[in-house]
Chains A and B, each alone.
Chain A
Amino acid sequence: MDILSVNNICFKTDNKYILEDISFSIKKGSITALCGNNGAGKTTLIKVLKGLLKVSLGEIYINGLNVTKKSGERLKKIGLVFQDPDLQIVGETVEKDIEFGLRNLNLTSVEIERKVNKVINELKLIDLRNRDPLTLSGGEKRKLILADILVMDPDIIILDEIFANLDYPNVKVVLKLIQELKDLNQTVIIVSHNVEKFLFLTDNLILLKNGKVVYNGKSSLSIEVLKENEICSQNSFFENMLMP
């Protein structure tokens, strides 16, 4: 069954449409790339999905349930990792930062500890557990904000420009993390204007242009469209990365 389906969504500010008639659906356990050039409307779309912005028109379903009017429900079910880790970390230690969201759910301390330990093990954060987040490296910070979201048990995880400002070793760390999420059967949407680094990991691709969907299908068949729309250069040679 589709874990997320979006029907004819529009988002308007003042009198300009930023998103127009967007429809797509996403299967449980799949990894989707949401791409488009600067200003295409990617961030706006995910904020609308998450419930941080109001939908002007259209419907959103999660697990078959209509949640268009229930933005609180969407806040819980969709985990969103923002681009800048420094604007998301609040705790004084890595462990306390992971606890933050759970405490807002008013869980018991036993339950909180169990969930935190689980995520710390899954993401192999044990050595960093008691560190001050401000002293972490860029890649470690990404890992932490991913843990912050993962611990809340969302149905869908959205990563906005997660590769921005990362060097090659850290890109590899994040790619490995996404692969691990896939192995855990998590549903992930990776948002970026630069898909070459991670396209091989994804099952499907949605391409936005001027607030509209121009491609929605298998990643392996998307290369020509990506080249046509100048998401990647004409002589990109990452086709071979798509081979299994």
Chain B
Amino acid sequence: MNTKLFHYRHSDGLLNKVNPVVKLLMLIILSLINSLLDDLFVIVFFIICVSAMALNRINFLSVLKQSVFFIIIGVVFFITSHSFFKMLRYYNMVLICIIFTYTTSVFDLSYSLTKYSLLRKTGKILSLTLIMIPLALDSFSQVILAYRSRNFSIIKHPFSSLTFIVINGTKKYIEKVSSFSDSLQSRLFQV
């Protein structure tokens, strides 16, 4: 199955069924453990992570392919700190995050949070943020595409193009947010 990094996909895996708030707590605890563990256990931890991925039918090779960026950073860690285990701790952390986001719908998480009255607002704002981020990415990439399609070289005019992109991207974003807020309101979403 094709895996997109940090992107929820529906599956019948065991971890998908665990309550999202429990998973969030597990994420926090596991990352603490990962940084406090003895060096040797870090290897065991890594093996556990990989088996957890296998159990949830996450394609390890496909994850590997998409994680080139993180792998490079790990290698930089290794070169600068001369510590194999530091690098491994870092990879463990990335793997935990990948497993968490792959098996947890952020919407489920934010809705589970709203069940606890203290976290109600946090949950709502979390889901609102998650809705708005792709909208922003979309607005800016649209503006950049519009410039490039008219042969405007961003490299030749870095300053003016940056100003244009920021101003027009923000304009576009505000436009999108306002129609989006209409549609959220019409589906009775309230913060």
Contacts and interface: CB of A to CB of B under 8 A. Distances in A.
Interface residues of B, number: 25
Interface stretch (A34-42, A95-103, A198-206): A95-103
Contacts, number: 60
B105 A52 contact: no
Contacts of B105: 92-93, 96
Interface string B152-191: 0000000000000000000000001001101111111110
Interface string A77-106: 001101010111011110110001101110
**Listed residue (B107, B180, B184, B189) with the most chain A CB atoms within 10 angstroms of its CB:** B107
A101 B8 CA distance: 20
B179 A104 contact: no
A105 B187 CA distance: 9
A36 B150 CA distance: 35
Contacts of B183: 82, 87-88
A132 B179 contact: no
A87 B131 CA distance: 10
Contacts of B138: 86
Interface of A: 47, 50, 52, 75-76, 79-80, 82, 84, 86-88, 90-93, 95-96, 100-101, 103-105, 130, 132, 148-149, 152
16 contacts: A52-B182, A52-B185, A80-B186, A84-B179, A90-B131, A92-B107, A95-B10, A96-B105, A96-B107, A100-B107, A103-B111, A105-B188, A130-B10, A132-B7, A149-B187, A152-B187
